Amino acid sequence: MYSLSDTATVGFDYLGNNPFKLLSFSGALSGKSVWLLWSAFNEQAVQTYAMQRSEDSVQFVDVGSVPSLSTAGPNSYNFQDSMPFVNSNGVIWYRLRIINASQSSFYGPTIRVNLKSPLKIYPNPSNGYLIVEYPFTTSSSIISILDLSGRVALVVHNNPNSSQAVLNLTGLSRGIYFVKWTDGKNAYIQGFFMN
């Protein structure tokens, strides 16, 4: 199972004979929505990506779909789940159902999104800077800023024995971004809006 405090990097053949690769699949909380981000390569045989959500990581329901670009790619996709439910643990699970033109399908990896992130980011929306408060750690940590396609826009290396960073975001275009923080053991993602 892949934790969606992290980006899952995966690769497998589509039905054993097409070189389709799911390169990554991740999700992040932004306000009261969850954004799912993924990228794929050689998806000519893929027709649709159906997003599925689960409260218990066992029983999944469809929550939306995105048509495939059906090209060699690589291509990046996103989907906003504006109605995530919260179980008693504050965790929900997502997976992709990958559907081809003949309507046969298979499932990508299952990821977990923690709706009770210890990250605090402000001001949100940002006007050029962002303060990120994260769990105190005695090791170094990394903050990455990701755009909606999952591309890394900025990377900041934090010193050990710290719990806060101020990020200069001048140069970023207006839109939705994600802060990904990791210390190598734990990782969290949270969304913000850039004015």
Q: Residue 153: its pLDDT value, please?
A: 93
Check if the beta carbon of residue 126 is closer than 8 Å to that of residue 191: no
pLDDT at 29 over 90: no
How large a percentage of the chain has pLDDT more than 70? Answer: 89
Q: What are the b/e assignments for 155-172, b being 16+ CB within 10 Å?
A: ebebeeeeeebebebeeb
Residue spans per domain, the chain: 2-114, 120-194
Average pLDDT for 122-142 = 93
SS3 category, 189: strand
Q: Residue 86: its pLDDT value, please?
A: 64
Q: Which residue has the higher pLDDT, 28 or 144?
A: 144
Confidence of residue 10 (pLDDT cuts 50, 70, 90): very low
Check if 2-114 and 120-194 are the same fold: yes
Domain 2-114 is found in CATH 1.10.287.810 = no
Confidence of residue 33 (pLDDT cuts 50, 70, 90): confident
CATH code for the structural domain at 120-194: 2.60.40.3080
The amino acid that residue 75 corresponds to is N
Q: Which residue has the higher pLDDT, 64 or 114?
A: 64
Q: Residue 133: its pLDDT value, please?
A: 94
Confidence of residue 17 (pLDDT cuts 50, 70, 90): low
Q: Residue 88: its pLDDT value, please?
A: 63
End-to-end Cα separation, the chain, in angstroms: 35
The CA dihedral of 61, 105, 48, 35, to the nearest 10 degrees, is: 40
User: Strands 162-168 and 129-137, how do they pair?
Assistant: antiparallel
Q: Residue 12: its pLDDT value, please?
A: 46
Q: pTM for the whole thing? A: 0.71
